[in-house]
Structure 1
């Protein structure tokens, strides 16, 4: 039997009272299960953190000794138990080390997706599917009007831009995916990387994911027009708003982050409407609980066939 309040949101985030733990808490807690290392899912200062090895490495890089009091590193498909709840990490395909969290309790199963991605990505473990009674899914882009374009087609747009490019991207996950894709699909481009991204690249490559061809940014290099693509994190991108001699682009699935009407780069690491429908087909839940977005379109789509509950 599905427990209606198996997880719910309180001031600290998404809480499972039956196991007395949080999933990706927004404030430090005693026990946290962290799905992936993006800062909006992995805060510092938790007591005991359960996560994958790559998530731990990325959290320690960002937070140093404040990352957590203790880490419990768990491999994919390796189950562990917290207060009677059996938990298993399933690859989420979102970024290096990202995991969906399968929870089994009193003959019912609950799959928390965290952020996940179905699109191919050579810089992280591909998504895997399991069946569950309840799918607890992110709904960032849960709108029938939002269908992500093919990421390879988007990257190939860079081949038509002859000037140097200042390419804004989140440092963790997105930048590494872009390096790999530009290397593969826009090979004439010379990739320069901001120094804050270099240490993250090392973690990816230590995990066995080769990113391709890139070098550390140098000011003298960018003075020449030689089809350079300089990948920078958002704070640097914003500070270069008046940069001359470059085409400014920001790689994102969000329309509001596109900075040129004539040159856009829609590359998302989240599921779109069709991807969520595919997740429902694969997981085959009897209920869907939504987070991080508007689940009302899913309520309307499934009607009485599948119960859809909005957790936020």
Structure 2
């Protein structure tokens, strides 16, 4: 029953919300949001476990697949969509599914979340396998679409992660790992696009970013595997090369052009003295990890 869910409970702090001034509304929402990071922090251990599992599966040609309904589904699709431009990952490596299909991203598809078999169909359609990791997202912890998807994932051997914002939720018994940031009642009772949505976004940020770091997509805190697809990202790529090499704008631009716009290749060429093709081979031998490729180049390893 919904009335037993923390996210559906009445928040005492906002019971007179319609009498508040605008400034008081802003202050209340902000003060309530301040506790979201703490709730996510209490889930640090399962989140870290999830990142290691995801990274391991991605390294073995598996995929990370998010699925959910409504806000939960939209947040999963958003996180998946951000991975290619940020980490230059294959668009098929991190996938987001939403109950009701793409139209549900902008328009509510009534009843789509109530059918567990639809999740199974969506996962079958993308060829879910035992190499993959799925993250079923349902702030309530009871959405039929997500429950059905997790059950199907476990049946075929995919690693199933459940993400909910209520304790004692139904997802926990249908997954291999549960992540449960309990944020408490919303300012608007049941409006889980607010604190629960924020907590969900934070967790998904950690999962994808942590897994990509483990995949060698960063050099220190630099996004060396980004895909420069517009003016802003081209400028960012140049700035990253400058930060890692101390080159001028013009020099960094020339180096990037010589390396086909590949940030990691450019940095390795600068520090190792290898040609772009040799640098690419060194990176391949290092599994895409720039720091390891630099170590190998420093030790005199010759790419073959």
Structure label with greater radius of gyration: 2
Which structure has the higher relative contact order (CA within 8 Å, separation 6+)?
2
TM-score (norm 2): 0.32
TM-score (norm 1): 0.31
